[in-house]
């Protein structure tokens, strides 16, 4: 996959570079591909490029193919000239229309050739977008059809154009995983995760996370991964943490048309806003009352610009978080936007072992910022690696206090990680900052770490000196560990 290179990881999130040879550009990821409607442009592609820094956009080749007005100009002038955009252009194939209207009148071969002819940089076969919750049989049948088309797509002469391999499989994780493995096997270039829009529309972020995690298991570290139809900045951090690299947004324009205002904490109706909770150029220069009283077109454009500013701002925030090694802290913050986002975050942490595989070993800081933090991959990794240490003797003290020479060896203990050799106390993640008002879950997970260490050393006798741990944590410590309360002892 020489067209995509990962520069750094945080959890399964990654800063990457997608080389798009036909456009002669390299696109930094994660990134947003604004959806440009060939017929109606709320914000001109040239403006997306110059004002918002768009390096890539997406448009629909099926609409162009079916347009008496635009088909010929698209072929003659090429997409870049037609849209006035010099970055990379990805084209969709009509699969969305297939899902909406039940049939379309092109084949994968036809539409890929058309995409090539109009100068698309990344083309898309006609896959079958299987909706969530369908019976397994339908999901299997349709995925097989999609896979056949992907294989046919590899035989179409598309020159330097990259070609996507959409991953379907409905809400059946094992089918998603298989579909992803087969898609990766085609050698195609970009992996859109398809038919997830209904999950997002219904705020099913928990199911979305399970679907994406399954697809990622099948894809391995191949990429880039495109979360098709994901355009709300509220969930970019969550999706990025799973290893999604490309988002596409029609939301900035569609929402603007309905007076909807995007924020990283959700969606607001313009009518409900007395103040703009934002510092973008639109919101620093206008008051909501003034925007409400504008002409429809002006208001729509202004809201679309706000929506784009907040969307690209969140892309930068996600990138900086990956770079700074605090993407999971960002996910933790964004999870507070809506209870269903919290469900998504809690589900993400079910996949901690999967995130751990690529998570980098050392970062600047681990901030324990919620009850959920105790389930982060760094904690899991620390406890998994307890089997790497020898213990120097039969009597071992695990303590939140100081060393004691009555024991053969003293280890530290810290929530949520549990026991650690004292020599590691200044290394990541044991340098974690944890609230003084530590939550019960952090103690319980620390107790699980104690239990793991104790189980690894059946012949060693352990004493745990803890600082007033709650009963629910102490219950998880094996019976053979002697317990002492730090303050009771003094």
- Mind telling me the catalytic residues? 92
Q: List all residues 6 or more positions away from 463 whose beta carbon is below 8 Å from its beta carbon.
A: 395, 396, 397, 398, 399, 407, 481, 482, 483, 484
Q: Which residues ranging from 121 to 180 are in contact with its own copies (CB under 8 A)?
A: none
Name the segment binding its own copies (CB under 8 A); options: 87-95, 185-193, 267-275, 405-413: 267-275
Q: Which residue has the tokens 């900086």?
A: 320
* Residue 405 sits in the site that holds its own copies (CB under 8 A): no
CB of 237 to its own copies, least distance (A): 11
Of residues 115 and 311, the one with the C-beta less far from its own copies: 311
* Residue 40 sits in the site that holds its own copies (CB under 8 A): no
Provide the CB-side half-sphere exposure for 170 (13 A, CA): 16
Binding mask 44-63 for its own copies (x = CB under 8 A): -------xx-----------
CA distances from 432 to 12, 102, 257, 379, 384 (A): 20, 53, 45, 10, 18
* Residue 184 sits in the site that holds its own copies (CB under 8 A): no
Q: Which of 2, 101, 137, 284 binds its own copies (CB under 8 A)?
A: 284
Give the separation between CA 170 and CA 405, rounded to whole angstroms. 60
Q: Which residue has the tokens 């592609």?
A: 45
* Residue 16 sits in the site that holds its own copies (CB under 8 A): no
DSSP 75: H
DSSP 11: T
Which strands form 13-20's sheet, in the order they lie side by side? 4-10, 13-20, 25-29
Size of the site for its own copies (CB under 8 A): 56
* Residue 347 sits in the site that holds its own copies (CB under 8 A): yes
Facing residues of 455 across strands? none
Of residues 61 and 347, the one with the C-beta less far from its own copies: 347
* Residue 274 sits in the site that holds its own copies (CB under 8 A): yes
Binding mask 72-111 for its own copies (x = CB under 8 A): ----------------------------------------
Q: Which residue has the tokens 């809690």?
A: 346
Provide the CB-side half-sphere exposure for 472 (13 A, CA): 7
Q: Which residues ranging from 409 to 448 are in contact with its own copies (CB under 8 A)?
A: 433-437, 439, 441
* Residue 307 sits in the site that holds its own copies (CB under 8 A): no
* Residue 346 sits in the site that holds its own copies (CB under 8 A): yes
Specify the 3-state DSSP secondary structure of 407: coil
Q: Which of 113, 369, 431, 461 binds its own copies (CB under 8 A)?
A: 369
Of residues 40 and 274, the one with the C-beta less far from its own copies: 274
Of the candidates 96, 111, 118, 106, the residue with the CA atom closest to the CA atom of residue 35:
96
Which strands form 31-36's sheet, in the order they lie side by side? 162-163, 122-123, 88-92, 56-60, 31-36, 246-249, 225-227, 191-193
Name the segment binding its own copies (CB under 8 A); options: 64-72, 212-220, 279-287, 380-388: 279-287
Binding mask 451-490 for its own copies (x = CB under 8 A): ---------------------x------------------
Q: List all residues 6 or more positions away from 116 whose beta carbon is below 8 Å from its beta carbon.
A: 123, 156, 157, 158, 159, 161
Specify the 3-state DSSP secondary structure of 286: coil
Of residues 183 and 342, the one with the C-beta less far from its own copies: 342
Of residues 321 and 481, the one with the C-beta less far from its own copies: 321
Structure tokens, 12? 């399964």
Provide the CB-side half-sphere exposure for 130 (13 A, CA): 26
Residues that bind its own copies (CB under 8 A): 51-52, 206, 265, 272-281, 283-284, 309-310, 312-313, 316-317, 319-321, 323-324, 329-330, 332-343, 346-347, 367-371, 433-437, 439, 441, 472
């Amino acid at each position: 996959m020489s067209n995509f290179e990962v520069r750094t990881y945080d959890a399964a999130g990654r800063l990457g570079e997608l080389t798009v040879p036909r456009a002669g550009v390299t696109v930094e990821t994660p990134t947003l591909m604004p959806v440009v409607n060939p017929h109606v442009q709320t914000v001109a592609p040239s403006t997306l490029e110059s004002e918002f820094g768009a390096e890539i956009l997406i448009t629909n080749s099926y609409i162009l193919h079916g347009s008496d007005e635009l088909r010929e100009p698209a072929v003659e002038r090429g997409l870049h000239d037609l849209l006035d955009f010099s970055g990379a252009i990805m084209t969709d194939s009509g699969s969305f229309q297939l899902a909406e209207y039940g049939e379309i009148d092109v084949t994968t071969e036809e539409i890929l050739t058309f995409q090539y002819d109009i100068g698309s940089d990344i083309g898309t076969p006609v896959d079958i977008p299987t909706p969530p919750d369908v019976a397994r049989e339908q999901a299997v049948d349709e995925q097989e059809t999609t896979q056949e088309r992907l294989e046919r797509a590899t035989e179409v002469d598309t020159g330097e154009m990259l070609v996507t391999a959409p991953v379907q499989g409905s809400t059946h994780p094992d089918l998603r995983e298989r579909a992803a493995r087969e898609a990766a096997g085609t050698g195609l270039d970009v992996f859109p995760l398809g038919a997830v829009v209904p999950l997002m529309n219904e705020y099913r972020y928990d199911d979305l996370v399970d679907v994406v995690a399954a697809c990622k298991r099948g894809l391995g570290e191949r990429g880039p991964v495109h979360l098709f139809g994901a355009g709300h900045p509220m969930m970019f951090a969550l999706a990025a943490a799973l290893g999604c690299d490309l988002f596409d947004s029609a939301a900035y324009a569609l929402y603007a048309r309905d007076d909807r205002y995007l924020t990283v904490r959700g969606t607001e109706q313009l009518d409900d806003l007395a103040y703009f909770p934002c510092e973008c150029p639109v919101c620093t220069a206008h008051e909501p009352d003034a925007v409400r009283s504008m002409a429809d077109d002006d208001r729509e454009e202004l809201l679309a610009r706000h929506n784009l500013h907040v969307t690209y701002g969140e892309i930068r925030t996600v990138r900086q978080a990956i770079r700074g090694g605090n993407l999971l802290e960002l996910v933790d913050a964004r999870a507070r936007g809506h209870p269903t986002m919290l469900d998504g975050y809690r589900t993400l942490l079910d996949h901690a072992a999967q995130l751990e595989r690529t998570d980098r070993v050392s970062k600047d800081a681990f901030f324990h910022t919620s009850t959920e933090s105790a389930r982060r991959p760094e904690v899991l990794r620390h406890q998994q690696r307890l089997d790497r240490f020898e213990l120097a003797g039969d009597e071992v003290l695990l303590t939140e206090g100081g060393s004691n020479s009555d024991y053969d060896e003293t280890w530290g203990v810290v929530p949520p990680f549990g026991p650690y050799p004292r020599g590691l106390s200044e290394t990541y993640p044991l340098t974690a900052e944890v609230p003084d008002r530590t939550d019960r879950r952090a103690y319980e997970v620390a107790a699980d770490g104690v239990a793991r260490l104790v189980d690894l050393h059946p012949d060693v006798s352990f004493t745990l000196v803890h600082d007033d741990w709650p009963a629910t944590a102490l219950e998880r410590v094996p019976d053979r560990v002697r317990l002492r309360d730090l303050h009771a002892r003094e």
